[in-house]
Amino acid sequence: MASGHAYTGNPKRTARYYLNGVADELTSENIPLLITLESSFERVLIARLAETAQIPGSPGTFEYMLNSWRSVSNVVGNLTGARGRALDPAVRGARVSALQGAQALLVSYMGLSLQFPDMVVPAIGRPGQKILSGVALPQGLLDQIIKRFANDGLPEVLAPVFAELGLRTIDSGSAGGAGCLRGYLRGHPADADVRPRGLQRAANADRHSARSRSCRLSAFPTSNPEIISNYYADAPERNREERNALHSSIRSTVQYVQGALFDVFYKLVARSGVPARTATIQYTLRTLATNALRSGMHVDRDKVVDNGFADNLASIWLRLSEPFTRDPQLKKLDRVDADWISLRATRSSETMPAGLDDAQSHIGTYWRELTRLHADQSAADAYLQRRQQETEGLGDKQMPGFIADCFFATADALHLGPISILSQYKDILSKLSRFRGEVERIERMPELLPPEQRASLPLAMQRWKEQLKGMKREKIAMDAQVLDPRRLNSMVIFYRFAMAFLLRQVDANGQYPHRPFAMPTDEGEASVPEAWRMLPEFLAGGPDRIHRVHRHVGVGELRTFDDIIPLFLITFLARPAYIKNPYLKAKAGGCPAYADQVYQFRDILDSNRFAKAYLVPALLRFYVDIEQTGASSQFYDKFNIRYYIARTLRSLWSRGRSHVVATKQFFSQSHRESSTAATTGSTYRDQQVIEQFVAASDDRHNVSPRRVSEQAGRISASSRSSQPSQQQPGAGEDEAGDRAQRLQDAERIARSYVSLAHETVPRPFQAGEVVDRLAAMLNYNLDQLAGPKCSNLRVRDMQQRFSFNPRVLLSELTSVYIHLGLPRQSDGSDDAMTDAEDQQAIDRFVTAVVEDDRSYSVELFQKAYGILERISLKSPESLARLLEFAENCKQAKVDSHAIEFLEDEAPDAYLDPVLASLITDPVRLPTSDTIMDLASIKGQLLSDPRDPFNRSPLTVDMLEPMPELKEEIRRWREAKLKEYYASK
């Protein structure tokens, strides 16, 4: 025993430390100097610990006892092993018993040294580091500590260990820390402190209890920047294979830690009774409720839990939900109650046994104030109050169970955890790309810098490249945990289940997926179920979140999908009234283009019966509805989404005849029905789609030359003075950063506009309310490309940097004039318009072109013809048709003086109050009792469905025709024109 502890009471044993004071005391008391457990071991141990600080090079008290425990364990192992078999069993048993008693005494003092580090001598360093140090913890020591202090202050003994966990990220001690927590809670889940007392601030939610501190362990550099210097210092210089090997090592450690945390939560919810399960669910919901700010765009990270805590909490609940989310048949889907918020989350646990809301109402307030799919706050409050009154007498067995609790907790944990982290990751990629572009541009074109700064360019460039390497290290470090395929695959599986849950809520039969899905009725907002309206909005973000996942990870690394995701997209594109938020609709609108690029989705889009019946009409309607997205960037977003919708349609048309037939049937049927007087309901909406599809397509086509000319001016102004930020304090840094940001934004927007400009304007039916705007936009663009200001579009390297070629754009623009202003050449199709209908559309367009006094001129078309002929971008036949169109315009030119004469002579009742032009088709606005021209008010309603005079809601089907006034104006016009021409 003395050899195990390296001390002695015999001064002749020079190889061990001589305890002079203890030897004198034992001698004076006539106690033998031979150390025994019963008489002297504890006294010797205390004396040895007291003299630790006086021994040069001696380890600390905890380390000394740890080494002693290890030495004693080795001796016990020898005695119980092969080397001890030669001893008499009684002797061997006595020795083992004595040594195990010494171990127990050491364990007691080790626990006390953790709890009271300065008990014997002043401690050096943090006591929690002893267990979480790089030295492996001896096997069985933790179990002995837990067993010894199970009923004697175990939380206080291990508190330093958990405090140390709160200061760490993934490292060599993480496995020991996770094992410490697992062992601590293995048999004592009630001591988990699942309801940490004194939790006042969300920022402290990850630092209170033992379990919360352990949940902070992660590989995110945003939680602990040391992970970059420890593991990724040379990551930018490594090849992909070396990075993947490093990522695999980090991910394995993260998975072990998350597995240990899962074991803890699993024992609490599955093996510890109803009170522990309820407390665990409340702990999770309270933590999420007090960290709702994590879902915001600009988050103060000091006021919320860090990424490691949020991600680990989400991973725990993802694994808890796997038994029902990974089931291919989704047999437990009907166990998720859509009324969970009213039945569980907003009911007080103190007054109702089935409630989950806490005493501070953190949980209830959070779920009560969440944004709903189709209800405002007042409607949601009224619904919750009514449902609670209706279900007040329900028993516990009639309330939603653990599956519903787990589903909603997991959905919220993903929303505030991994999805928020993906947004941060996207910001890191954006900043890295922008800064790298700045550095490369300055290195390629140093003349952009002022002369006085070029002398210091080498030093500045070196500094910028070092900063760029630092940003790359952070990005690569984030890759380890953010892009873990196992983690992302679990998220996709859960969102598949969530989308199936939402589809069940709108299924016409309410039996999906146990019976085939039935498309809900299309009766507008009146058909939206009340329970659906009250669901949290973040539940419907599944397609966009899967899109985010696939954007960062190869599709081949994730599981193959069934038809739930395409069915979800088709359903809510075809029934847009079910989702109120235009921004959420806009997100869903971009997903079909991505789905069409993934071969698993593409096959489903070609074979699914709902895709054949609803996809094309839904995309065409959504093409128009996306006019407003609800975001600050909606002016640009609508063009991008329409671009992707056009790509999707072209891809569908190229792969199958059925989608082409569906498109033609949609337009032809809508045109026939719109010719009747009954233009209400879906028929009226389809008519709007046709009308607005032309305007929206033209808006998309119009944007490029005009907007690119604006951006070209900004690029020219910014590029003369732009340079990368030198990261120096002062106003100069902010100014340089602002210039660089403006230049990057201008280039990005210009590239987007150019790509949009190369889309072809389709030729559905031209309605009178949009043709004037269409012609004016085309004329303005033609003036920009071929008029006096065409030289302003020149930007350095515009072909390489922006894919912008004004000559090609001019050729395509003139093709639009030919396409819309001349009879179509016969292609043998059966669905072409009749000659009369075709000529009416052509006449409307030609008249609209020549009546545009702002941009139209005969010389403009002549100059465009000359440019195209000189550069040989169009065939002789196309040039001849362009001349034919220009000649038709000359012949159709209306005497502008006659128009001015009519407008000057017309009484106010005959003039449109908005455009001050002569009314040709008068209608009355019932909301303001105002008379306007039909084309004028329709044009207004395309972009704003409200009365322009009092802002009341107004739709085209509410307009009241005035045939008597129309005939009166026609007779007056004919009489005045005769009078005018007679005077000439």
Per-residue pLDDT at 414 exceeds 90: yes
- H or E segment at 741? helix 731-757
Evaluate whether 338 touches 531 at the Cβ level (below 8 Å): yes
Alpha helix segments (H runs only) across 758-857? 768-786, 798-802, 806-821, 835-850
pLDDT at 134: 39
Tell me the per-residue pLDDT of 174-193, one tens digit each, with 9 for 90 and over.
Answer: 455 555 555 555 544 444 44
**Displacement of CA 407 from its chain's centroid (Å):** 19
Residue closest to 897 by CA, chosen among 805, 977, 954, 783:
977
3-state SS track over 566-625: HHHHHHHHHCHHHCCCHHHHHHHHCHHHHHHHCHHHHHHHHHCHHHHHHHHHHHHHHHHH
The two tokens of residue 536 are: 């949290």
- Mean pLDDT, rounded, of the chain: 75
Average pLDDT of span 399-408: 91
Per-residue pLDDT at 344 exceeds 50: yes
Task: Please tell me the distance from the alpha carbon of residue 404 to that of residue 782, in angstroms, as a whole number.
Answer: 60
| Residues above pLDDT 70, as percent of the chain | 68
Within 13 Å of residue 741, how many CA atoms lie on the same side as its CB? 8
Per-residue pLDDT at 66 exceeds 50: yes
pLDDT at 133: 47
Evaluate whether 903 touches 916 at the Cβ level (below 8 Å): yes
pLDDT at 501: 94
Considering the entire predicted model, what is its pTM? 0.67
Instruction: List the single range of 151-165, 559-573, 959-973 with lowest mean pLDDT.
Output: 151-165
Tell me the per-residue pLDDT of 501-558, one tens digit each, with 9 for 90 and over.
Answer: 999 999 988 889 889 999 988 777 778 888 888 999 888 877 777 766 666 555 444 4
- Maximum average pLDDT range among 41-45, 265-269, 469-473, 589-593: 469-473
Pick 278 or 557 by higher pLDDT. Answer: 278
Residue closest to 65 by CA, chosen among 111, 96, 99:
111
Task: Please tell me the distance from the alpha carbon of residue 566 to that of residue 610, in angstroms, as a whole number.
Answer: 9
Q: How many residues does the chain have?
A: 984
The two tokens of residue 797 are: 């390297």
Instruction: List the single range of 566-575, 791-800, 830-839, 973-982 with lowest mean pLDDT.
Output: 830-839
Task: Please tell me the distance from the alpha carbon of residue 383 to that of residue 306, in angstroms, as a whole number.
Answer: 35
pLDDT at 921: 87
- Contacts of 626-633 with C-beta under 8 Å, sequence gap 24+, read 626/582, 626/585, 626/586, 626/589, 627/692, 627/696, 627/942, 627/943, 628/582, 629/582, 629/583, 629/585, 629/586, 630/581, 630/582, 630/583, 630/586, 631/583, 631/586
Task: Please tell me the distance from the alpha carbon of residue 322 to that of residue 310, in angstroms, as a whole number.
Answer: 19
Task: Please tell me the distance from the alpha carbon of residue 583 to that of residue 630, in angstroms, as a whole number.
Answer: 5
Pick 227 or 396 by higher pLDDT. Answer: 227
Beta-carbon contacts of 700 under 8 Å, excluding residues fewer than 6 positions away, are: 639, 642, 643, 756, 759, 761
Looking at domain 908-983, what is its CATH homologous superfamily?
Zinc/RING finger domain, C3HC4 (zinc finger) (3.30.40.10)
Domain ranges of the chain: 59-195, 202-337+401-479, 706-713+736-824+836-904, 908-983
Task: Please tell me the distance from the alpha carbon of residue 941 to that of residue 948, in angstroms, as a whole number.
Answer: 9
pLDDT at 397: 73
Task: Please tell me the distance from the alpha carbon of residue 119 to that of residue 608, in angstroms, as a whole number.
Answer: 73
Tell me the per-residue pLDDT of 639-694, one tens digit each, with 9 for 90 and over.
Answer: 777 777 777 777 777 776 777 777 777 666 554 444 443 333 344 444 444 444 44
Alpha helix segments (H runs only) across 187-236? 210-214, 226-231
Tell me the per-residue pLDDT of 693-710, one tens digit each, with 9 for 90 and over.
Answer: 444 444 444 444 444 445
Within 10 Å of residue 630's Cβ, how many Cβ atoms?
13
Per-residue pLDDT at 724 exceeds 50: no
Pick 640 or 496 by higher pLDDT. Answer: 496
pLDDT at 75: 87
pLDDT at 200: 33
536 pairs with which residues across the strands? Answer: 372
pLDDT at 51: 72
pLDDT at 164: 53
Token pair 């020898």 is found at: 78
Pick 216 or 311 by higher pLDDT. Answer: 311
Task: Please tell me the distance from the alpha carbon of residue 317 to that of residue 411, in angstroms, as a whole number.
Answer: 9
| Residues above pLDDT 90, as percent of the chain | 11
Tell me the per-residue pLDDT of 429-479, one tens digit each, with 9 for 90 and over.
Answer: 889 988 998 888 888 888 777 787 888 888 889 999 999 999 999 999 999
pLDDT at 411: 94
pLDDT at 193: 41
Alpha helix segments (H runs only) across 417-484? 418-444, 451-454, 457-482
Residue closest to 725 by CA, chosen among 924, 435, 526:
435
pLDDT at 840: 72
Task: Please tell me the distance from the alpha carbon of residue 924 to that of residue 932, in angstroms, as a whole number.
Answer: 6
Per-residue pLDDT at 764 exceeds 80: no
